A and B are shown apart, each in its own frame.
Chain A
């Protein structure tokens, strides 16, 4: 493989990794606070893709992007209020099944509203501008993704570590019940978690779909699962972990496709998941939980 191709693939990998990282953060945050695997997160990401298609049709890009973000955030918070909140005191299995149900509903809703045929994702002109460095060419979106990801993550970590809300979130993820007893407004914290997660998913979807070019109702399923794996890989509950997990998976997947094993690229992701769960379930940066008998 020539250096050029290697760099080319490397760039693609990092870009994909960045999108994965942003989505993985949503999973890890929700799990940290609610101990819920938000199976519907991938579908929120998918809906964001569709939102953009419709937003761009009526608005210029600098309005469309915020509209998409706002719409996605509203969707995420709505899902939490309608499908997860009523089950907060129910056994874990019930809320997971609810998440699966929401995922199912969104997929069917998308199929109904937008048909199962892939729809073309709009090319936002300035994002698709191609840059050339030597022999390596890449669109602007590919280049800015990693930087944007890191910038957003940095801001998020600032929020978590230096704001009152952030402290509330950290406390809730350590001990849900005691936090409530201490007067922390649980509902606000949970809503905030979903707002942040959906926000990042929306941005991730813009970055992801701009390169993919099409959206269809099941676009969110595999990326959703993969990003969950990324979160587990990094240590579920840890935001830096989710980011690193996302990049590892994005780069690994791109590498496999480059080497000709594309059918195995999905299996590769799941193999990593299983290896992690067996040997280091807390992930690279997670914390161990001790069960009291």
Chain B
């Protein structure tokens, strides 16, 4: 049984009176590609935001390789408002800022591309190397860390070459066509040397051909960088083709989980998401 890389335990995220994620528990094991699917507004990106530290959950824990790095329970204003389950099960508060979580080895892309628009392709990726730099402000300013800087640049170039973006490396990132921008998002995330990669709708806006290319692309990346991948996606071809396991969310709650084959035949999923045909197929 391979190691559990990521585990969510009873994660509930409540905003005011709205429960966006409802008692979600899931796990991702070493080397897997796991997909989270569900209709829009099902709470998928919110779950990502909890994992990456953008939001503190209202209740629940998140573990990375067995160590709890996010934990919370209903307190303060939420103590009165909390309408979710498992109240009282968790009593610790552990928070980490997104940058610390990235340093742990969890990287993410964004649903709406968030590139550094005015910077070049090269700089977008190079910046992601900053967090692993050991030189301080002084050394860095007076160029005493020339070797390290050179290594960072070489790494960046190599990454761009692998992702087929080397030819545009000096272009301003916002001038790239959409497909390349998405690749750049992923390149940037990879530059942080993650072991777990969170992809938020990587195929958004892509046509079927591009989606096919992306499928092969993600497989290749997984092999090359020894990644575990957790992905939110709507394109069913991609999901069914590439995932080892799938979790299905609806209104913040998980309604099914299993292999692609199991999910395709699950009635609840079909009703909630894949759609019921006019003839009742």
Contact = CB atoms under 8 A, between A and B. Distances in A.
Q: Are A and B part of the same complex?
A: yes
Interface of A: 290, 293
B15 interface: yes
Contacts of A290: 15
B54 A293 contact: yes
A290 B20 CA distance: 14
Nearest to B55: A293
B49 interface: yes
Interface in B35-73: 45, 49, 54-55
B16 to A, nearest CB: 8
Contacts of A293: 45, 49, 54-55, 110
A186 B275 CA distance: 41
Nearest to A288: B16
Nearest to B15: A290
Interface string B5-41: 0000000000100000000000000000000000000
Main SS of chain A's interface residues? loop
Contacts of B110: 293
Contacts of B55: 293
A293 B52 CA distance: 12
B118 to A, nearest CB: 12
6 contacts: A290-B15, A293-B45, A293-B49, A293-B54, A293-B55, A293-B110
A290 B16 CA distance: 10
Q: Which 6 A-B pairs have the closest CB atoms?
A: A293-B54, A293-B49, A290-B15, A293-B45, A293-B110, A293-B55
A290 B15 CA distance: 9
A293 B46 CA distance: 9
Contacts of B49: 293
A293 B53 CA distance: 12
B98 to A, nearest CB: 10
A290 B14 CA distance: 13
Contacts of B15: 290
Contacts of B45: 293
B71 to A, nearest CB: 21
A81 to B, nearest CB: 30
Nearest to B16: A290
Nearest to B46: A293
A290 B110 CA distance: 18
A290 B18 CA distance: 13
A290 B54 CA distance: 12
Nearest to B49: A293
B76 to A, nearest CB: 13
A33 to B, nearest CB: 24
A86 B87 CA distance: 52
A57 to B, nearest CB: 54
B214 to A, nearest CB: 23
A293 B45 CA distance: 9
Nearest to A290: B15
A290 B49 CA distance: 14
Interface in B128-171: none
Nearest to B48: A293
A122 to B, nearest CB: 54
Interface in B197-226: none
A141 B54 CA distance: 54
Nearest to A291: B54
A89 to B, nearest CB: 16
A293 B44 CA distance: 12
B20 to A, nearest CB: 11
B22 to A, nearest CB: 19
A293 B55 CA distance: 9
A293 B112 CA distance: 9
A90 to B, nearest CB: 15
A183 B15 CA distance: 30
A293 B54 CA distance: 8
A254 B122 CA distance: 59
A244 B55 CA distance: 34
Nearest to B54: A293
Contacts of B54: 293
A69 to B, nearest CB: 43
Interface in B90-149: 110
A86 to B, nearest CB: 22
A290 B55 CA distance: 11
A280 to B, nearest CB: 14
A293 B108 CA distance: 13
B6 to A, nearest CB: 19
A290 to B, nearest CB: 7
Nearest to B98: A293
Nearest to B112: A293
